[in-house]
Amino acid sequence: MARPVFIVDGSRTPFLKARSGPGPFTPVDLAVQCGRPLLARQPFSPDSFDQVILGCVNVIADEMNPARVAALRLGMGEDMVAFTVQINCGSGMQSIDTAYRYIREGHADMVLAGGTEALSHAPLVWPNSGVRWFAGLATAKGMAAKLASAFKLRPRDLKPIIGLERGLTDPVTELNMGQTAEVVGHLFGITRAQSDAYAAESHRRLAHAQSAGYLKGEVETAFSRDGKFFDHDDGVRPDSTAETLAKLRPVFERPWGQVTAGNSSQITDGASWVILASDAAVAKHKLTPKAAIVDSHWAALDPGIMGLGPVMSVTPLLKRNDLTLKDVETWELNEAFATQVLGCLAAWNDDKFCREILRLDGAAGEIDRERLNVDGGAISLGHPVGTSGNRIVLHLVNAMKRLGTRRGIATECIGGGLGGAMLIEAV
């Protein structure tokens, strides 16, 4: 029989907006910054875990298998099994889901599952012509051949390609993620005014959560090597309004597009961890669970409309557990783009879409906006790709505890045409 799986604790770094050049922390640095205080407050030693699983998309060359590097730096022991998972935006949630299944099936009792990403460290890549030039120069025999090869260099061979820009472009449809949000917005008639209003509300909610202390115990202060400290998500703009956001130009589809820098998720660095445990581990270490993972579901769809991934993953999850949208009291739907979030809400409320695509008897209904992303989301705090799926689960658990709600869902769209969803219940 499947065993219950509990989330007993978790923490994350502040999400730091990428500006010019690499930020103060690498992916593993970030994982260690929030991992140390998390492990330090546990009633067991760091080597008590069965394994470590970490989501990361932009792995840097100096940190191959960042899960293992982080585990060693966290003092979890040389015999700690640790591996890295990558499913684009879903990587941080995939780490939790993998740990959940290991524990549920009896293969582990306690797992540290996380996500980390330093998008400011995304590489610049040489064009293929430049790579071929370097290869020719390296393999040329003799001084004459090397000089001949050197003179073949053209300025375009040295023009770098922004790795992050290529990484956020689908290799099959050749649409970047912002363009896929435009497609979803067009399909469901989402207006620019609606998107800007949603984005402004995201900033307002995060600013309120910060000032009210709702993130205390979730966000750990990070300290850089030069002595600076970072204690809050620094991308929040409390003064944002729909009117000020309306002045920004579309980024991806000029001049008529809906998606701007103001109503899109921010490019940030950040990490997050959660501790998952079986009932046996809870009893052994006298832990107090915060919530239980009930079920999870992954779905796939056309990459050109990847923004609808939450709809495609949540709907079967609800069906399997005999639930409706209204039965879920608290929602975390990752804010990749305001237009995309609003497109998902519109899809669930569209009778034709629900009948023809979701195979429902009619429209699924509406999600009360007061239950959705109650403390803001990626538009206001950022979207470090490999981390966000972990953060929304962690924050969902904490928000449910604060609000006294019983049931919640964390869900996200995933680049490449995927979606992930996780059903959580309070204990």
Angle, helices 388-403 vs 91-104, to 10°: value is: 70
Asked about 89 being catalytic, the answer comes back as yes
Which amino acid makes up residue 39? L
Asked about 413 being catalytic, the answer comes back as yes
Q: Catalytic one among 121, 203, 297, 383?
A: 383
- For residues 331 and 85, give the distance between their C-alpha atoms in angstroms, rounded to a whole number: 24
Can you name the residues that pair with 407 across neighbouring β-strands? 425
Helix or strand holding residue 124 (H, E):
strand 124-125
Chain centroid offset of residue 422 CA: 14
Asked about 34 being catalytic, the answer comes back as no
Q: What is the pLDDT of residues 342-385, one digit of tens each?
A: 999 999 999 999 999 999 999 999 999 999 999 999 999 999 99
110-118 and 51-55: which strand pairing?
parallel
Which amino acid makes up residue 91? S
Distances in Å between the Cα of 179 and the Cα atoms of 170, 186, 264, 341, 411 are: 10, 11, 11, 14, 21
Placement of tokens 């067009």 in the chain: 186
Give the pLDDT of the chain (427 residues) as one tens digit per residue.
Answer: 789 999 999 999 999 999 778 999 999 999 999 999 999 999 999 999 999 999 999 999 999 999 999 999 999 999 999 999 999 999 999 999 999 999 999 999 999 999 999 999 987 787 888 888 889 889 999 999 888 888 888 888 888 877 777 777 888 999 999 999 999 999 999 999 999 999 999 999 999 999 999 999 999 999 999 999 999 999 999 999 999 999 999 998 888 899 999 999 999 999 999 999 999 999 999 999 999 999 999 999 999 999 999 999 999 999 999 999 999 999 999 999 999 999 999 999 999 999 999 999 999 999 999 999 999 999 999 999 999 999 999 999 999 999 999 999 999 999 999 999 999 999 9
Q: What is the pLDDT of residues 63-90, one digit of tens each?
A: 999 999 999 999 999 999 999 999 999 9
- For residues 174 and 228, give the distance between their C-alpha atoms in angstroms, rounded to a whole number: 40
Q: Catalytic one among 89, 344, 354, 395?
A: 89
423 torsion bin: left (phi>0), alpha (psi -120 to 50), beta (else):
beta
Q: Catalytic one among 56, 344, 354, 413?
A: 413
What is the pTM (predicted TM-score) of this model?
Answer: 0.94
Q: What is the pLDDT of residues 226-268, one digit of tens each?
A: 999 999 999 999 999 999 999 999 998 888 899 999 999 999 9
Closest CA to 375 of 176, 275, 232, 242: 232
- For residues 413 and 415, give the distance between their C-alpha atoms in angstroms, rounded to a whole number: 7
- For residues 380 and 36, give the distance between their C-alpha atoms in angstroms, rounded to a whole number: 26
